Structure 1
């Protein structure tokens, strides 16, 4: 039978509203002023906005609402700003501005003007121009209970003001800069996702390193997924004299263009990581001392050593050429040794390109049995980087995956806890020679003899597995 919520105890009403989805809450919101006050905390707890190029953006309305009614800001625990058309490789990183009426800007302009920050004039100009960066920066200043933040991909293209505001928050209020109290801002932020598409022009002209690094200083940060650019300086440009020590951060995914040369400095600031994902990236048309065609294991392994004592899951992938269509660069090359990986005693789950062991040509550079951690339980081997490399040789499955067969012959002594092996070898998905087929059959037999499940991802259904 129908329930008259207006006649119910307030605590009962809150329990009922807590079970409703956002669409239902919006309906309740409009029924009666009393219900509106009770529904607001649930309705504003998670704010999700999508980007539409052809429409005025709702972020300007959200900022106006929380500045006119500051109590709404205290309800927001999750802020998710996402969407936008995928850019092409020539995209220069300019996002369409949101139309803004001057009468809607009064509170925002007054707040920024009251800070007396050195960059306040520029901030006010960009607010009037409808720049997304300016409005996101203001939200970060005024959401004291925020716990989860997602920006991407369009919302993190322009991020300089975001970085400037974060640095001001981290440095604390100064009497000559701030009238607004920012000391409590972002103290509860635990999960951060900052994702943008990497294009040729963006990677060259619009590096976001300085805007991204301040997030690692946040005291409650536990999970981070970030597209971050490699700087052109030997040291990472941390916002403070001392790098952070993000001891609460246990899960980190690093994309963008950060290379192995700087990854170690980042991982030195995250000593308690249990899960790490890193994507190796090479932009062939724009070579510098850090962005080269060499996969340098002698830099990568010392970088990973910062978290070798805590890491339980490691994912290494490669996106070397970014759909490159210009004059072909030098072929990719592996340098150094990956044998230090065997000392990662806590590692139980590993996804890694096979070429980091074998190299791009035969004979194989390393034996899997000498490089894999002894306590490994799940292993996924891919042909990332190989299939995008401009080399004259074919994959030679009998040689490269023959390395897998050689390891499986003594797998019980090298990785006795291994129970699952996944092979993601796209270069072998086409026609298979009799020699290639013999190797696959041999791998399956050796794995089953050791009690290991062998699988390949089903390309037609996510998160499902089919037997080799």
Structure 2
């Protein structure tokens, strides 16, 4: 009698290239079915099944099965070597909520996880075990990461990073000279590690995640890092030596201009930078102020002047418990930006270029990089200072449509001399003028298009006011 689960003749003996083509077309559910056929199939499909672990946390009361995965790879460590991609998504909690991430439930003994932690010999063993036993998500994620020697991509959405103390400790252990039996994350290339904007539960704890994120800069293969980095009182790198990362792409928010230069000073190969200037009236520290210090931003960006090809600067504000937007003003200028000779694409708020006040003496060509190809001007911060009772020192957005057109016209009259590689200009509009019920009327849009046609430069208007 033939075995009950005998494989189809010849399939498993096919060349690996053929099997790859076949199995890559199958869904995870189908792969699991094949894995139950026999040991040969299981050995082949398990690396495919475990290569990417992707979860979405849909309900606060039903967290992802982290404990099940951790227990399984503790019992079968070989499975951990298959995992190269962790993608944990979630949008469970309200953006402006006071809620903290629910605890991870577990129904069985923790002997194996505790034994693993004790075996590492790290100095924070007791804290790690204590928080693991309390079901703290941070502790369980740290335990998962501590078993993934071949991890290449890590994506943790804000619900998974609300607490990150133990994750940070594991990362710092990875860059220390001592050996703890933890992975060194030498294969990690892509990381996304963001906090939620307006997360009041973090403000109540008044802790910073800086030391938890900075170890990523030390990892030898890191190329793309997208992270929220909070502003510490004293900025200190977590190792005795400065990092020398191979980062080519960096996406930052929360960190303000005072510390931005510290981060950019070590990114000698950076080509793409996306930075969100952020102010929240409810964050009380010496760095999160309502002043956009353009001189300090200019100095920070100078560290990547010789490598940067793509720069995006955003600006947004949180209101805290105040129903009104906070007052903002700019000081200084981005005077050195014109000398960023490798910069091909720039997206930037209009006030960062010419301020809030309507000043006809200011010219775009005095700040736009001379080798720019594509410029995107946004209306970020357009609504700031509208609710200020005393506007002394807090300028309103004064730029009217016709003056903006004149600003662009003056540049385009001589664009071949000052920016000879210019190919396109985009106005990205997110705020409507509530009095006129529009920001740019159709006549103004047509004027801009005609202006671009005359100069031989494409001008595009992206109107997002209806979707905001």
TM beyond 0.5? yes
| Aligned counterparts of 1:55 and 1:433: Cα–Cα separation in 2 | 44
The alpha carbon displacement at 1:64 in A equals 0.7
Q: Which residue of 1 aligns with 2:290?
A: 293
| Aligned counterparts of 1:412 and 1:21: Cα–Cα separation in 2 | 54
Tell me, what secondary structure is at the counterpart of 2:157? Answer: strand
Q: Deviations over 1:221-271 (max 9, x none)?
A: 0001111111122xx22111222111x11000001x210110000001111
Gaps of 5+ in 1: 463-468
Residue correspondence of structure 1 range 119-158 to structure 2 within 5 A: 119-158=124-163
* C-alpha contact 2:89 2:156 (8 A) present in aligned 1: yes
Tell me, what secondary structure is at the counterpart of 1:282? Answer: strand
| Aligned counterparts of 2:355 and 2:381: Cα–Cα separation in 1 | 10
Q: Deviations over 1:27-81 (max 9, x none)?
A: 3223333211110011111111222322253111111111110000111110111
Instruction: Determine which of 100, 105, 108 is the counterpart of 1:99.
Output: 105
| Aligned counterparts of 1:331 and 1:96: Cα–Cα separation in 2 | 35
Tell me, what secondary structure is at the counterpart of 2:302? Answer: helix
| Aligned counterparts of 1:6 and 1:438: Cα–Cα separation in 2 | 67
Q: Which residue of 2 aligns with 1:240?
A: 239
Gaps of 5+ in 2: 1-6, 387-394
Q: Which residue of 1 aligns with 2:391?
A: none
The alpha carbon displacement at 1:18 in A equals 3.4
Q: Deviations over 1:71-101 (max 9, x none)?
A: 0011111011111313342425x21011112
Q: 1:20 to 1:365 in 2, by over 3 A?
A: farther
Q: Deviations over 1:125-147 (max 9, x none)?
A: 11122211111111222111111
Structure 1 stretch displaced more, 201-210 or 338-347: 201-210
Residue correspondence of structure 1 range 57-456 to structure 2 within 5 A: 57-91=64-98, 94-103=100-109, 105-174=110-179, 178=180, 181-182=181-182, 184-199=183-198, 201=200, 202-203=202-203, 205-233=206-234, 236-246=235-245, 248-255=246-253, 257-320=254-317, 322-326=318-322, 331-364=327-360, 366-390=362-386, 395-428=399-432, 431=436, 439-456=444-461
* C-alpha contact 2:425 2:457 (8 A) present in aligned 1: yes
Tell me, what secondary structure is at the counterpart of 1:100? Answer: coil
Q: Which residue of 2 aligns with 1:18?
A: 24
Tell me, what secondary structure is at the counterpart of 1:355? Answer: helix
What is the TM-score normalised by the length of structure 2? 0.89
The alpha carbon displacement at 1:439 in A equals 4.6
| Aligned counterparts of 2:335 and 2:308: Cα–Cα separation in 1 | 17
| Aligned counterparts of 1:428 and 1:327: Cα–Cα separation in 2 | 19
The alpha carbon displacement at 1:167 in A equals 0.9
* C-alpha contact 1:358 1:365 (8 A) present in aligned 2: no
Aligned length: 448
Structure 1 stretch displaced more, 350-359 or 12-21: 12-21
| Aligned counterparts of 1:29 and 1:124: Cα–Cα separation in 2 | 34
Q: Which residue of 1 aligns with 2:3?
A: none
Structure 1 stretch displaced more, 14-23 or 164-173: 14-23
Tell me, what secondary structure is at the counterpart of 1:102? Answer: coil
Q: Tell me the C-alpha RMSD between the 2 structures.
A: 2.6
The alpha carbon displacement at 1:326 in A equals 1.5
What is the TM-score normalised by the length of structure 1? 0.89
The alpha carbon displacement at 1:287 in A equals 4.1
